[in-house]
Amino acid sequence: MPFEADGVDGVTKELIALRHAVEARPSKYVELTARTNFSFLAGATPPELMVFRAAELGYDAIAITDRDGLYGIVRAQEEGERQGIRVIVGCELTLEQEGLDVPGPVPTKTYAPGKPTTLTVLVENHAGYTNLCKILTESHSRHPALVRVQARRGALGPR
């Protein structure tokens, strides 16, 4: 293996240059389903800390998708402005509280019995934000929080 005068071969120099180039460019990875501590029992990190950590990791953007609401967006947006990271607005909508019985690979099994069926929605622009707010308002009026909490505890009995 030939060595140059300074003790580093050409391949090592090339790898070092490649590492510096990768570290210097913006990240190509974007987390699109990050729940904050506003998603009760599903997320534990405050939105500000989540965005701060994304900046440390070199992310260009991060999507905050709390369950059934936009609860952590304002704090995340403020931290995003401080860190120079784009915060993508979104949420995880609960479609069915008890989950859908979808046939699994074995006829007697289901994919997710009893687990809520959800859909992650991301906003592209102001019109999308407006539509998402309307959807959330309608969802909250149809499914009051008290009913959801009682259903989780089994207080309503079988449906």
CA 136 to CA 23: how far, in whole Å?
A: 39
Token pair of 90 as six digits: 């979104």
> Which pLDDT score is estimated for 26?
65
CATH number attached to the domain at 10-124: 3.20.20.140
**Between 107 and 115, where is the model more confident?**
115
Radius of gyration of the chain from Cα atoms?
23
Lowest mean pLDDT of 56-65, 67-76, 92-101, 116-125, name the range: 92-101
| Per-residue confidence (pLDDT) for residue 117, from 0 to 100 | 78
121 band by pLDDT with thresholds 50, 70 and 90: very high
- Judged against a pLDDT cut of 50, whether residue 93 lies above it is answered with yes
pLDDT one-digit tens code per residue, 147-159: 455 455 554 444 4
Per-residue pLDDT for 74 more than 70?
yes
Is the pLDDT reported for residue 98 higher than 70? no
- Residue 14 pLDDT level (bands cut at 50, 70, 90): confident
Q: Is 29 helix (H, G, I), strand (E, B) or coil?
A: coil
Mean model confidence pLDDT for the chain: 78
Domain boundaries, the chain: 10-124
Quote the CA–CA distance of 140 and 77 in Å, as a whole number: 24
pTM of the full predicted structure? 0.66
pLDDT at 133: 94
